[in-house]
Amino acid sequence: MTERVPILIVGGGIGGMAAALALARAGFAAHIVERAPEFGEIGAGIQLAPNALRVLDGLGVLPDLAALAVRPRRLVLMHADTGQPLTTVDFGAQFERRYGYAYTVMHRGDLLAVLLAACRANALVTLEAGREVTELADLGRAARVGFAEGGGYECDAVVGADGLWSTARRLVSDDRPLTDAFVAYRGALPAGDVAPLAGRGGAPAGPDDEIIWIGPGKHLVQYPIRRGELYNQVAVFRSRSYSPVTEASDHWGTPAELDTTFADCCDQVRAAAAMVNRDRRWVMYDRDPLDNWTTGRITLLGDAAHPMVQYLAQGACQAIEDAECLARQFTRCDGDAVKAFAGYQEERIPRTATVQRAARAWGEIWHDGGPVIPLLRDRILTRRDRDDYTDLDWLYQARPTAS
């Protein structure tokens, strides 16, 4: 006999864990299946803006996160080639009063570990690792999920939180991930091994700040994580050797090309880029926004629904927002999955589509190498006040929820 599962979540990453915890705290049993043999996160740093912290606070995990996180004093935007400051966003008391929470950065693995511990402590959450979904179908009265090793579940509801290359997404779209030839190299080093270079020589940024260096076809992000014990660095650049023919290969966006791209940067950036981890490259992918995430009793969440480029640092934040909305809709609809999914995507699709498009636009503004956009960008940025948050309100302020 096929076992019955009320709500199955495919994918045990940050979005899947947050969704399971949100559903469980709302009184709904949630069952996570993860294809990897263990629950864990690849990568290093993650940025949590107030819109995500608001949800995480409601899930009861904020104190545990705070013990592992760093609250940067400021975001400092610098020009990667000239080394000149462009603008500063003050993350101090005024920012926190405006949005209710301090901007927070931490290790991705630490965030997942806290969510995992909270899920394990909740009797309504079931966790299974090492289970690869190979069959997924809506049957009308239920959804069917089958596994590579055999067996399966019949579910009242399935949430596909299975990331950029989502299997669940194929049920609602035949699209493919898109790249504009940017790749990232990232990693964290012991803070004692890499003194943040931006604070030297009188530069206006220091080791307690998040620093973003932008320039034509490239940028570098730096900030401390894990209580300040580690220093996270992400180097991103557009590969000149990319072509659609070679997209699936690893012959473009190489470490050698990273060095070439950052060779003309200012001394601080060039030295920092030389220390970036080279073990793995991440191709920067997103997809066009969809106008539907759902088929029957199956819906999407997080990167499966709305993968976005990282230039607004909102990928995980939007997945966490998804989790809160999904649980709230299940409560509003008294557990009726079909109605809950309809309300969920009606609320979330406009929001996430706006963030996806804004992230693309922000990346274009950062990376433009022409004669006009950088001139206008730098003129506008250097004239703004460090406590002018008007351009952040749409993203970070609390939003009214559907009744």
Buried b (16+ CB within 10 A) or exposed e, 295-320: bbbbbbbbbbbbbbbbbbbbbbbbbb
Sequence-ordered strand ranges (E) for 125-274 = 125-129, 133-138, 143-147, 152-160, 178-190, 210-215, 218-225, 230-238
**Residue linked to tokens 């791209």:** 261
Q: Give me the sign of the Cα torsion angle 25, 28, 29, 34.
A: negative
Please, what is the angle between helix 337-367 and helix 315-332, to 10°?
A: 160
Token digits for 350?
A: 């406009």
Q: Which residues contact 244 (CB under 8 A, 6 or more apart)?
A: none
Token digits for 378?
A: 């730098």
Q: How far apart are CA 67 and CA 55, in angstroms?
A: 17
Radius of gyration of the CA atoms of the chain, in A: 21
Helix/strand/coil percentages in the chain, nearest 5: 35, 25, 35
Q: Is 242 a residue of the active site?
A: no
Question: How would you classify the pairing of strands 230-238 and 178-190?
Answer: antiparallel
Q: Which of 99, 103, 153, 223 does the annotation list as catalytic?
A: 223
Q: Side-chain half-sphere of 281: how many Cα atoms within 13 Å?
A: 21
Which strand (E) or helix (H) includes residue 281? strand 281-286
On whether the CB atoms of residues 339 and 37 are closer than 8 A, the answer is no
| 3-state SS class at 378 | helix
Sequence-ordered strand ranges (E) for 24-177 = 30-34, 45-48, 74-79, 85-90, 104-107, 125-129, 133-138, 143-147, 152-160
The residues assigned a catalytic role are 223
